Amino acid sequence: MAPQLLVGLDMGTTRIKAVAVDLAGQQVAEAALPTPWRHVGAEADADPIDLAVTATGVLTLLTTSASWPTGAKVTGIGVTGMAETGILLDATGAVVAPALAWHDPRGEVELIEQHISPPEFHRHVGMRLNSKPSVAKILWLQRNIPGASEAVRHLCVAEWIVHYLGGEQVGELSLTSRTGLFDVVTCEPWEQTLRLTGDLLPSRFVIAGTDCGSVRNYLPDAYLGAVLTVTGMDHQSAAFASGAAIAGVFFNSMGTAEALMRFAPAPLSRDEIELLVDQDAAVLWSVIPDHFCVLAATLSGLSMERVHALLGVKTREQARELARAALGVDRLTSAMKLDPASHRGLRLSGIDDESSPALAWRVAVEDLLAQSATMTDFVESVIGPRTSAVVGGGWIHDAMVAEVKKRRLGDYRTCDVNEPGAIGAALFAGIATGALSRPGPSERPTWPQS
């Protein structure tokens, strides 16, 4: 019998990557290509067809890997990725506008504010009213790109890829929650913003791991007929792979951006949502049925990269030595401190005779991670204390970072899943095919033959 594989595809901001796993969860192949953005200053967009062609290129590269099993058959493909970036389609299904990057500053915020107050927006949408929600980007495109006003459908990137490969046009709840076109309390389209854009949401809303059709187009024979599923926002897919998408668990992803996530049973009240959004914590539907996800983030990882550069750290061994040295210094002997909130960037002050690279690293880590600790405390004051914690991402392997996290979180579990977003997508592909049972809200996913 030909080996059966599940594939997870992660449409990331920097790279589009894919992994293939067998039914025991063993990774057998991996591939990636750069995400094809077009940059002009702070602005970034992509041709949606280029995004799709790059995705199919990555999936094709998997099958040419030396480790690809002879005669292997892909039974399911799960697609996760960035949230707010979307694709506009006309009534014929043709693309009518570029896809603006989620961090692109273009957005008709003032137009929205003329019709909807920020507090009302926050209470219904679960996001801040700024240029990030898809609605602001859609309105900018409709005002500035010829043909965009002809759009009848908006699909988030992962939804677009599933459709491009032969699947249905669906709205996956964790992604739809990031459009600004959806009321996260009632779990239905929000008429207030749809009056501005037109009715662009798909008619069918699904949860990650739902069968959304099968592969019909553009891929090698090994993929034809594979079940397709949209597997939600990349951070949530990574939490699922890490066994942290569970009510009460705190998931801390320590990458360039530090993601702070909590999952909670529905419902949350509008007052609770407004409290969270006012402190820049977003509320969206979860990849777990009948649960919300509270998502906050800091740029601690990026800031630590900058401090490494300042201190001349260029290799992993240098980073390890600096962290070990930092654990042995006492910051109370110095007035050094780091201000992470300066409008001109990081500000290191109090440099005195006791200063050293090791002390600077200890101060930087402690003061930067104090931000995430403050945010975590606030989220818990609204939705309740965590039951446990899972920490993943590259920075948790720094001994100084690990010490600060242990001091703050107590005994946490470290997750070392390679490409967790894509692995989570592969797990959801297993659910969509029926090879894997959907775990309960307090259970971690397990592979079918594990």
Strand order in the sheet with 27-34: 27-34, 15-22, 4-11, 73-81, 227-233
What is residue 257's predicted lDDT score, i.e. its pLDDT? 84
What is residue 342's predicted lDDT score, i.e. its pLDDT? 58
Say if residues 449 and 89 touch (Cβ distance below 8 Å): no
- CA contacts within 13 A on the Cβ side of 434: 1
pLDDT, mean of residues 432-437:
96
Nearest in space to 78 (alpha carbons), one of 214, 236, 209: 209
What is residue 416's predicted lDDT score, i.e. its pLDDT? 83
**DSSP string for residues in 102-171:** TT-----HHHHHHHS-HHHHHHHHSS-SSS-SHHHHHHHHHHHSTTGGG--EEEEHHHHHHHHTTB---E
In which band, very low, low, confident or very high, does the pLDDT at 105 lie, cut at 50, 70 and 90? very high
Q: Above 90 in pLDDT, residue 180? A: yes
User: What percent of the chain stands above pLDDT 70?
Assistant: 99
pTM, 2 dp: 0.93
Q: Measuring CA to CA, how many Å separate 403 from each of 83, 107, 306?
A: 32, 41, 20
Nearest in space to 59 (alpha carbons), one of 178, 217, 283, 206: 217
Say how far apart CA 124 and CA 56 lie, in whole Å: 36
Structure tokens at 1: 């019998």
Q: Above 90 in pLDDT, residue 344? A: no
Say how far apart CA 305 and CA 327 lie, in whole Å: 18
The single residue listed with the structure tokens 């920490």 is 391
Say how far apart CA 26 and CA 448 lie, in whole Å: 11
Say how far apart CA 444 and CA 434 lie, in whole Å: 17
Peptide bond connecting 48 to the previous residue in cis, omega within 30 degrees of 0? no
Nearest in space to 304 (alpha carbons), one of 336, 338, 275: 338
> What is the CATH number that goes with domain 247-414?
3.30.420.40
Say how far apart CA 354 and CA 208 lie, in whole Å: 53
Region(s) of the chain under CATH 3.30.420.40:
4-237+419-433, 247-414
What is residue 217's predicted lDDT score, i.e. its pLDDT? 86
pLDDT, mean of residues 216-226:
95
pLDDT, mean of residues 67-82:
96
Say if residues 392 and 416 touch (Cβ distance below 8 Å): yes
In which band, very low, low, confident or very high, does the pLDDT at 450 lie, cut at 50, 70 and 90? low
Q: For residue range 9-41, what is the model confidence (pLDDT) as tens digits?
A: 999 998 999 999 999 999 999 999 999 999 999
Helices (H) and strands (E) counted in the chain, each on its own, are 14, 22
Residue 244 makes CB contacts below 8 A (sequence gap 6+) with 250, 251, 261, 390, 392, 415
Q: Measuring CA to CA, how many Å separate 164 from each of 15, 51, 82, 170, 440?
A: 19, 10, 17, 12, 31
Say how far apart CA 129 and CA 373 lie, in whole Å: 25
Q: β-strands 249-254, 227-233: how paired?
A: unpaired
Q: Which H, E and C letters describe 264-327, residue by residue?
A: EECCCCHHHHHHHHHCCCEEEECCCCCEEEEEEEECHHHHHHHHHHHCCCCCHHHHHHHHHHHH
Say if residues 20 and 6 touch (Cβ distance below 8 Å): yes
What is residue 448's predicted lDDT score, i.e. its pLDDT? 77
- At 121, the amino acid letter reads F
- The region of weakest confidence among 96-100, 334-338, 343-347 is 343-347
Q: β-strands 388-392, 413-415: how paired?
A: parallel
Mean pLDDT of the chain: 95
The phi and psi torsions of 442 (rounded to 5 degrees) equal -115, 15
Give the CATH H-level superfamily of domain 4-237+419-433: ATPase, nucleotide binding domain (3.30.420.40)
The SS3 call for residue 339 is strand
Say if residues 293 and 261 touch (Cβ distance below 8 Å): yes
Say if residues 174 and 293 touch (Cβ distance below 8 Å): yes
- At 302, the amino acid letter reads L
In which band, very low, low, confident or very high, does the pLDDT at 101 lie, cut at 50, 70 and 90? very high
Structure tokens at 394: 């590259």
What is residue 343's predicted lDDT score, i.e. its pLDDT? 57
What is residue 215's predicted lDDT score, i.e. its pLDDT? 98
